Structure 1
Amino acid sequence: MSLLHLSSLAEISAVEWDALLPDDQPFLRHAFLLSLEESGSVRPENGWQSDHLLWRENGVLRAAIPGYRKRHSRGEYVFDHAWADACQRAGIPYYPKWLGAIPFSPVTGARLLGDEDAVLKLLSALPDNLYENGLSGAHINFTTPFANQIMQQQPDWLERLGLQYHWHNKGYRDFQDFLDTLMSRKRKQLRKEREQVMSSGFEFSWYRGDGLREDQWDFVYTCYANTYAVRGQRPYLTRHFFSLLAERMPRSIRVVISTLQGQPAAMAFCLMDGNTLYGRYWGCLAEFDRLHFETCFYQGMDFAIAEGLQRFDAGAQGEHKLVRGFEPHITHSWHYLCHPGLRDAVGDFLLQEREGVRGWAIEARDALPYRRGD
């Protein structure tokens, strides 16, 4: 029995890795994670050193966690910058750290892969492994109920809660059927937003991953990169990543492109599985009033209804989603900090933060636009 490290997912076959996956969520697949590495989106030079953990028994892969050694906290969406700053002031090294997550993807999904007995053995070996490798701690982000039950049994791991907003398809026949469940004022607001965009002449077309030409992918990437450029930041993903993913996972990709007078103006890049549409990236070439809401939210809701999907996860944060019918969803992450003083201080903070998150989730439900009793 042994805990092994992979510096690249290329060191294991797709068949062996994917056999551990409990569902068809695209972010966990060998093809997705390897595309991040081979495209240069994830590499040591930008602070993401692949360090996937495996547990083998008698040569058989029993458990795994997709993971990375990090020298910063960017691209994680569970924000621990304040912890790192406090460590710096106290002279305690916070980086490098180990992160169990999907890069740049704040999507809840399986992180502890394999059977429970082997996962428990892997987790029990992890703390000593952190000390041996000079890592300040381990962090496992956006975990499922299965993982949460396991992590609650682990000593010294701290639970952190977050809040996202997801839209649920309650068997709607069409978008109007959804609107009919809303309070009158909210229904008029959403209808007005859609009509404003359509009356401006925008048209929308959906494409599968293998339905886009390379010049259209160039447009998708230009829009994606522009969302970072306007904030003075560099994009996380490279252009090559999109081509690799379109080649390897075309059926999981959906892209909606908005055109104005026949010219592309905006796009939203999504992934999907048999249950959920995941809105990942959006961008536009120029600012247009309400175009973001139509491209990123209403088009995705239309698509989910048409495809019979149960849920639309449009990404992290965004309280503005509440008034458009996206319901509060509590997320979970887990943190093991090697320094006992830091662990105690963060533990006290998280105890208060958890209560605040739970309280806001309750309050957020009161802001939903649904007719009372629905």
Structure 2
Amino acid sequence: MNSPLRIEEDGVAAEQVWSVVTAMVGELRQRVPRMLGFPANLAWDASAAHSLLSMLINNAGDPSEHDDSGNDVKSFERAVLSWFTGIAGGDRDTYGYVTASGSEGILFGLFVARHRFPRAPVYLSADAHYSVRKAATILRMETVTVPCRDDGTMDPSALARLCRRHRDARGGRPGDGAVVVATIGTVMRGAVDDLPALREAALAAGGVHLHADAALGGLVAAFCHPEPAWNLAHGADSVSVSGHKLLGCPVPCGVVLTPRRYLPPAPTGQYLGAPDHTLGCSRSGLAAALLWCRLREAGTRGVRETVHRCRRTAAYATEALAAAGAHPERFPGALTVTFDRPGPRTCATWHLATQGDRAHLVAMPHVTPQAVDALCADLRGS
């Protein structure tokens, strides 16, 4: 049977291609009101940016350096980085770039950490994102899992014990240092690790590089009052934030930041004419331009108001799920609400993320109180 997706010897008319794409997008849009379980903002319509698709836009090499290709939008990327640097407590010494994902941001953070402390293990919580282990495997870094406290945050006391154990295994001398990955908004519970406490605990191992995986929770934390310790000004040595989660950029992307003094030496591609500290070299100028569009359109005030609206939805969901008998839990200020895992049909209908006997919803901008009410009605009927 021929499929409309099959790529064959002969091409087809452009109208046929785009009719398939239009139908696919229509199907995806029909699902949006029921997509409650995953942290992606599906509310921003970037179709007005179609002119960005008229040519390749490649931000090759460092954002701060001109390259000889000429088909970049690095000025847009620098504007995005300036905004994120301010939000994340950086300064003029801060280096960063637009990544392909939050996971690339974690990989870059560990890459910088390994340059600083080549023999240090990576300490991560039991609730850290799985991409932390993947990044450590790529870099051939040892990992040590640290237990969590009851609220889902990494236990500083347990971290200190593990760092001392690592030190004592070397005859009581200071160890090889510690690379600690703190999570600002854990996957299932939205918990925010205590950066100052984790840094203090890890000093038992010697030098410390503290990476903050703030993929979802960073922008939430930035607009909470009081603001939790989550960024460079609060003791992180590198920070990664997602661009497609809360902000809703229509292509996966993120931003990673670290003090320039921590960077490994950068090779310079002679043909490119620019130094390159990035992991990707060729990078999506489309993502950088779309992030700029989103932030320029919303402004800081708009992002702040989005966070506050989403937090109100999360609070509403907590009350509604309690009334439905689903035993919800919510980390203070988080957009994530966990509750008793419903049956397979309900999980599939609402695209819920699950772990063990718990499920969660994430109050992204497209998640409405009406959707929460419909979920609760489904829970009562199941």
TM-score range, shorter chain: under 0.3
Provide TM-score, normalisation by structure 1. 0.25
Bigger relative contact order (CA 8 A; separation at least 6):
2
Provide TM-score, normalisation by structure 2. 0.25
Give the number of the structure whose residues are more often strand, by fraction: 1
